[in-house]
Structure formats: C-alpha cells, structure tokens
Structure 1
Amino acid sequence: MSTLEAPVTKKRAQIKERTLRTDNWRKAPIITFVIFTSWVVYATVRAMMGKWYWVEEYHYLTPFYSPCVSEACAPEAADFGRFIPELPFFVPFAAISLPFLLLFRLTCYYYRKAYYRSFWASPPGCAVREPHGKYTGERRFPLIGQNLHRYFWAAAFLISLVNTWDALKAFHGKDGGFGIGLGTLILVTNVILLWAYTLSCHTCRHIVGGRLKNFSKHPVRYWAWGQVSKLNERHGQFALITLGSLVVADLYVALVSGGAISDLRIFN
C-alpha cells in the first residue's frame, strides 16, 4: 500500500462520549420543543372553538379562521362563500386552508431541522451523537412526503393573498367608511410577516431564479432572485416570528370579539 493511501472503513469512529461539546447544547432543542408544543396546543384549541374569531364592527377576522367557509361562519365573515356544511367541532371553519398551512410549515426546511432535533433528537445538535441506530433519510414513507413542500408553498402563497384581503378589509370604521384601529395594525403587521416568511422560502427562491443558465439574459428575474435571497437568509427568523404574530393577531381578535377589551381606535 502506498504511504499516501488510507485504509478504507465503513464504520464510524468509536468514541465513548456522546459529544465533545462543552456548551449547553441541550438548551436550544428544549426551548424549541416547549415553543412548538405550546403553539400547537393554542392553535388547535382556537381553531376548534368556533367562536370569538370575528369582529363585525371593524371587520377583524383572525387568521386561524381565514377563509371562513363553513356554514357555521358568520355570513359577514365569509367573503368567499360558505360551501362547507356545518360539521363536528373538530373540523375547523377554515378547513380548506389550515391543512395546507400546517403541511407547508411541517415540510419547511427550517422547521424540519427544528423539530427533527427537538422532538426526535435526530440529532439533538451539531456534533452530538443521536440515539437512533440507523438513518434512512427522507426516501421512505412518511418522510418522503417532505418532497411535496413546493406544492404546499403554492397553496400557502394563495392563502397569503386571502390574508392580505382580510388585512385590507380591517381598514373599516364605525360608520362603515375608512378607519384604523390597533387591530388593523396588528393584522397588517401579521400579514407582512407572513409574506416575508412565504417569500423567503427556499422553494420561492428556486421558482424565481432557479434553472436559469444565464442571469444576464434575465435581468428582472435576477433582481427578484437577489431580493428573495436576502429574505432567505432570515427564513428561520421569519418562521419563528410568524408563530408569535399569528398568536398575537388571533388573541387580539378573540379578546375584542369576546368583549374582554375594546379596540383602540386611531382613526374613526
């Protein structure tokens, strides 16, 4: 054997320690686990409550019920029709949007890393040995479904348009004309953040500028690809921030709708 050749082995290096890291690497997956679990519990309860989702006076509709397409929806909140019959409580009023939004986030590249580490410990952190004996990747059921992310992105894009419509309708005054309240600002901020998360997606970046052999022949797409790339650098941040903005928007609408607080009016 030449002195430049190294012996070939199929086994990993064997060390007793699970990791040689000396920092508190358990902190991040634990915090992620708590945040994700709390959000899922809150969102599930609110989506199934069937009340406190609509403020008719100011046209505030919580994003957890948008679009509201059940026959149980308030007629004024159902801008896109009520074509789903009233079903048991565990079927949300926004039954056509929430499944796609959930699958969009569930298959998101950032969320995969986050919940693989925090819920499955696969692995729990960089340079930390995972407890699983083998890894099959995303080539088998059910994880092969992660490859459908690009299609869920398209659905999320359309739903973001619906959320934008809801935010625009929230510029509604007491007399039926133009008006702005704290709820208006919250819903508009939430939809801006949702757009930032949606447009910063890796799939969007590929759709905008992918498969081009020469950027100089496509200056508009090149510019758009550059803008999306800048957003893409913060995709993980937007993924987490929008969890908070969705809760804030929903909670505010619920409190106003339930009569717990009054909307702070800025104009009309």
Structure 2
Amino acid sequence: MSSVTSAPGRAEVEARTLRSDRWWVSPAVTFGVLFLFVVYATWRAFEDRHYFAEPYLSPFYSPCLATSCAPGSSDFGAAAGDWWRLSPALLILVFPLGFRLTCYYYRKAYYRAFWLSPPACAVAEPHRRYSGETRFPLVLQNAHRYFFYAALVFNVILTWDAILGFRNEDGEWGHMGLGTVVLLANAALLTVYTLSCHSCRHVVGGRLKHFSRHPVRYRLWTYVSRLNARHMLFAWLSLFSVAIADLYVRLLATDMFSDPRFF
C-alpha cells in the first residue's frame, strides 16, 4: 500500500509581521549612517582641496595620480598626466568604493536599509518580484572578487602613507604626530576589514578537497575564518576610520588646529 500525505500551503498571514520588538531600529540606523557617509564622501571627493597637510595625505585622495595634485602629495607620480581635469579622488575612489559596495555584509545592510528587501527578518518586503543578483545592475555584484584584489593594493598604499607620517614638515624622519596614529589606525582597520572578507576566505582555502594536503593554506584559512566571524564589526570600524582620517587631514589643511607631535 502507498500512503500519500498532503501538507497544507503556506500560512495566510495578512500582517506585515508578527514581531513585537522594534525591528525597524537597525535598518533605520544603518540607513542614517550610510546616507551621511555617502553625502560626506561625495562632498569631499568633489571638493578637490584640503586633502594634504604635510606629511599627511587623505585616504580619499591616495594615491594622488594627477598633475593637479597638491605639491608633495604625489608619492607615486602623476600617472594620469595633464588630461585629467576633475578631482584626483575620482580617479581612484571607484576601487575602494566598489569593494565596499559589493561586500557581502554591506549588500545585506543596504538591501535592507535602502531597498527594504527585506527590511528585517520575518518582515514582509514591499516588492512583488525578486530576481536575486542575476540581472543588471545587481549582477555586477559578482565583481567583488576583483575589487578585493584592488583593495589589497590600496591597503599597501595607505600603509605606506601612514609610514610617511613619521616625517615632519621638512621631510625629516624620526617624528610622530597624532596624524600618524590616525593614519596607522585607519590602515590597520582597512587591512583587517579586507582580510576578513568572504572572498579572502575563499581565495585562501576555497575549493580544497583535502585540507591535510595543504597545511599552510589550511592554517591561513583558520586565521581568516576567525577574522571573518567579525567582518561586520570591521566593516563599520573601517568605515568610520576612513572618514575620521580624511576629516583630520582636512582640519590640519585648513589650519583649524596644529598636529600634536609626540616626538
């Protein structure tokens, strides 16, 4: 004998959600913080000034590759030449922005906060259709791996900028100011954020069938996995650090105050 078990369809729930907690707080805060960062970063990128205060260079303008860069800020040369007439920041921001925009955590954050897709767990979304990331423009999210490689290069450049912070205004080494600490902290947080990325975890240990045959990659994979567990924390800390580092350089460049020197 064969028995057939019929299961009822999904429950008909008319309410948008049955949650009684303040589920809207998290997406609202995320929306506010990301919106303010986008406004600030856009303004600074197009301002095209107050981004260099010897020996500190804003991370929004590093590396500065145009001939229009402030004197002393082009440590890697003016590769863009004279043809670029807009802000030098627009030459390079597409790479760190692309990495952060396609980040797996940030996708979740701004999908919920800006597109309400969905607003929160167990909360119905207002969209009738869902195609995932299979159509334009969301299909471009698959470029995250390549932005990850670019982010690694920028981490090295920003670390070098922080090392240059051990100079004084005359270019002499052996000095350290508060700006040095700010740039070092920003470079460290951006590096940890990049290394905790899901793509980094896959690059290090993905597609391995036998970890025992790759002990070095397995050990690296365990380290990256520990960082990956705190990827959300590093994502927010690095977002604040890069804005603070840029703001600090701008305050110095506009003579709002002098950089405190420790030695």
Q: TM-score, normalised by structure 1?
A: 0.93
Correspondence for 2:29: 31
Query: 1:55 maps to what in 2?
Result: 53
2:193 and 2:231 in contact (8 A); partners too: yes
Deviation of 1:257 (Å):
1.2
Tell me which moved more, 66-75 or 188-197: 66-75
Q: 1:154 aligns with which of 145, 149, 155?
A: 149
For residues 154-192 of structure 1, the C-alpha deviation after alignment (integer angstroms, 9 at most, x for no partner) is 111111111111111111135512110000001000000
- Corresponding residue for residue 16 of structure 2: 18
Contact 2:64 2:89 in 1 (8 A): yes
Q: How does 1:158-237 map to 2 (within 5 A)?
A: 158-174=153-169, 176-237=172-233
1:69–1:95 CA contact under 8 A, matched in 2? no
The offset of 1:5, in angstroms, is 1.9
From 38, 41, 52, the counterpart of 1:40 = 38
CA distance in 2, matches of 1:13, 1:126: 17
1:101 to 85, 96, 99: 96
After TM superposition, the structure 1 = structure 2 runs for residues 76-155 of structure 1, keeping only pairs within 5 Å, are 76-84=72-80, 85=82, 87-88=84-85, 91-155=86-150
Q: Where does the alignment leave 5 or more consecutive residues of structure 1 unmatched? A: none
1:69 matched to 2:65? The reply is yes
Between the aligned partners of 1:157 and 1:239, the Cα distance in structure 2 is 15
Following TM superposition, by how much is the alpha carbon of 1:86 offset from its aligned partner in structure 2, in angstroms?
Answer: 5.8
The SS at the match of 2:168 is coil
Assess if the C-alpha contact under 8 Å between 2:69 and 2:88 holds in 1.
yes
Between stretches 126-135 and 214-223, larger displacement belongs to 214-223
Report the alpha carbon displacement of residue 74 of structure 1 after superposing the two structures with TM.
Answer: 2.1
After superposition, the Cα gap between the structure-2 partners of 1:82 and 1:244, relative to the gap in structure 1 and judged at 3 Å, is same
- Going from structure 1 to structure 2, the CA distance change for 1:4 and 1:21 (only over 3 Å counts) comes to farther
Within 2, Cα distance between the matches of 1:160 and 1:167?
Answer: 11
Residue 4 of structure 1, CA deviation = 5.7
Shift of 1:3: 5.6
Alignment match, 1:6: 6
- The residue type paired with residue 133 of structure 2 is E
Judged with a 3 Å threshold, the aligned counterparts in structure 2 of structure 1 residues 86 and 74 are, in CA distance, closer, same or farther, namely: farther
The alpha-carbon deviation at position 96 of structure 1 amounts to 3.5
Deviation at 1:229, TM superposition (A): 0.5
Partner SS for 2:72: helix
Amino acid aligned to 2:37: W
Number of corresponding residues:
261
Q: CA deviation at 1:67?
A: 0.3
- Kept in 2, the 8 Å contact 1:181–1:265? The answer is yes
TM value normalised by structure 2:
0.95
Are 1:54 and 1:61, in contact at CA under 8 Å, matched by a contact in 2?
Answer: yes
8 Å CA contact 2:45, 2:90 repeated in 1 = no
The equivalent residue for 1:265 is 261
Where 1:184 maps in the other structure, the secondary structure is helix
Assess if the C-alpha contact under 8 Å between 1:97 and 1:159 holds in 2: no
Residues 48, 89 of structure 2: 8 Å contact kept:
no
Cα deviation, residue 94, structure 1:
3.0
State the percentage of identical aligned residues: 52
After superposition, the CA RMSD in angstroms is: 1.6
**CA deviation digits over 1:85-105, x for unaligned, max 9?**
3645xx431333210111111
Deviation at 1:120, TM superposition (A): 0.4
In structure 2, relative to structure 1, the CA distance for the partners of 1:214 and 1:55 (3 Å cut) is same
Give 1:225 deviation, angstroms.
Answer: 0.6
